A and B are shown apart, each in its own frame.
Chain A
């Protein structure tokens, strides 16, 4: 275990290498450039391969090829670049190929700004590409969490033969914090399904296609089974001071951190505040919201760096109609205002409620 003071993107790249990543392909886009830069420097030292692709599209298909050959492969990008990678993500899911994709969210839509945001929640959890596939999507809020989750992401990807997304915002990519780096994992032989050359007459096929309606439906059912298993076994969430809370924040990533400060500030004023912070934004911790006691919890406050809100949808599914939901928000590179969040709760306490409808 090594304790270091590292920049977000670089720590994530280092964690990936320690987690077994030996192939990285990427394309420049702010604010994730430090990941490919770090990989180009460090991967060759560990016998790995870095390729700068001619586009985001080419990069994710290089990852597709490396994964097919049994390599632990990764790519990273930011919002418009992730849109371009979405075709490849869908193909990875269809061909049952493991890969790790880091999405460093910036403000959008379109070219938007290069500043941090959480506008790509839907993209990271629901619609990363066509065909209705899902990924395990981690949304760390500290650098240590980002390092630990990236390190483990490769195992999840290999276990499920499915891409894993690490969704962070530009703040976490740029921040420097002390982190403890995990040890280097021992590299494994390519899995049995990988294309390494046929053995006798037995050959491997990696294909994103199915033969007919029945085999396609069988594939979809198989995937659904996997997604159900995630919901049962792989949900990760931090419930912070929720036990007796009357006002419960729902926030992830950087917004999750800000809300933790807000909860602490409110508690110091005697207000019973708490925070549910999804660590996997897919599978989503619906259960944490379902079990909130409507007799005790007066409001759930969704805090996200996205306008219009997106996390709100999943929170609504979890909370139902029993508890009012309201929001605190920012976008474009702005961060959630702690002051505004505190004032929101104080006004809620006075009974001033503005219900947030899903639009």
Chain B
């Protein structure tokens, strides 16, 4: 098994955190994993992206020329990276900001999560990434969701309010995943 995942969006959407948390979850399952943030000017407000590779064997190249999974949090990222997704791959989109029409004819599965709107309803758009993460974990089935929830909540919060917010966001993501599947 070798799964290449790219997370992309605006700087500030928590794209790096999302990718890193997938990495943390894979790490806790004793899998081979690499998390490579694209650093550079883009981390200051432009588009940001990171690559996560999860495998049960040693990971050679930490970058992927073809993606199994793309998680696009905004339209520019979707437009930029949709061409890299393999036939048969999966694209997670933040439906609030991304129109995926361009990809409808491609041989890719599209999972649409209204992440920003759902996050607003929970109180802050900041948790959109956690909603996406949970939806991804529930549908991609690479990692154990219950264990991942523990890891994510442990990594995210010591403050009680934040913990509760993140717990709700995670749950919301799981429910969305169920609705879409």
Contacts and interface: CB of A to CB of B under 8 A. Distances in A.
A177 B65 contact: no
A171 to B, nearest CB: 7
Contacts of B61: 257-258, 260-262, 338
Contact of B33 (A5, A261, A335): A5
Contact of A337 (B20, B27, B60, B65): B65
Interface string B75-92: 000000000000000000
Interface in A303-359: 333, 335, 337-339
Interface string A18-58: 00000000000011000000000000000000000000000
Interface stretch (B35-43, B107-115, B119-127, B135-143): B35-43
A174 interface: yes
Contacts of B34: 175-177
B40 A333 contact: yes
A34 to B, nearest CB: 10
For chain B, what secondary structure do more than half of its interface residues adopt (helix, strand, loop), or is it mixed?
mixed
Contacts of A5: 23-24, 27, 33
Nearest to A254: B62
Interface residues of B, number: 18
B33 A170 contact: no
Interface in B7-46: 20, 23-24, 27, 32-37, 39-40
Nearest to B63: A335
Nearest to A144: B58
Contacts of B37: 174
B40 A178 contact: no
Interface string A93-121: 00000000000000000000111000000
A176 B40 contact: no
Interface residues of A, number: 25
Interface in A136-181: 170-171, 174-178
Interface string A222-266: 000000000000000000000000000000001001101110100
A131 B37 CA distance: 39
A72 B133 CA distance: 43
B65 A171 contact: no
A260 B33 contact: no
A221 B166 CA distance: 65
A176 B21 CA distance: 11
Interface in A251-298: 254, 257-258, 260-262, 264
Contact of A177 (B33, B39, B40, B63): B33
Contacts of A31: 39
A30 B40 CA distance: 9
A264 B60 contact: yes
A175 B36 contact: yes
A257 B23 CA distance: 19
Contacts of B23: 5, 176
A195 B32 CA distance: 46
A173 to B, nearest CB: 9
B60 A171 contact: no
Nearest to B24: A5
Contact of A114 (B39, B59, B60): B39
Contact of A261 (B20, B24, B60): B60
A301 to B, nearest CB: 16
B60 A175 contact: no
A113 B39 CA distance: 11
Nearest to B23: A176
A178 B123 CA distance: 34
Q: Give the 8 A-B CB pairs with smallest separation, nearest first.
A: A260-B60, A261-B60, A5-B27, A176-B35, A261-B61, A258-B61, A175-B36, A257-B60
Given A31-B39, A257-B59, A258-B63, 19 more contacts: A5-B23, A5-B27, A5-B33, A114-B39, A171-B62, A171-B63, A174-B36, A174-B39, A176-B20, A176-B35, A176-B36, A177-B33, A177-B34, A178-B32, A257-B62, A258-B61, A260-B60, A261-B61, A335-B63
Interface of B: 20, 23-24, 27, 32-37, 39-40, 59-63, 65
Interface of A: 5, 30-31, 113-115, 170-171, 174-178, 254, 257-258, 260-262, 264, 333, 335, 337-339
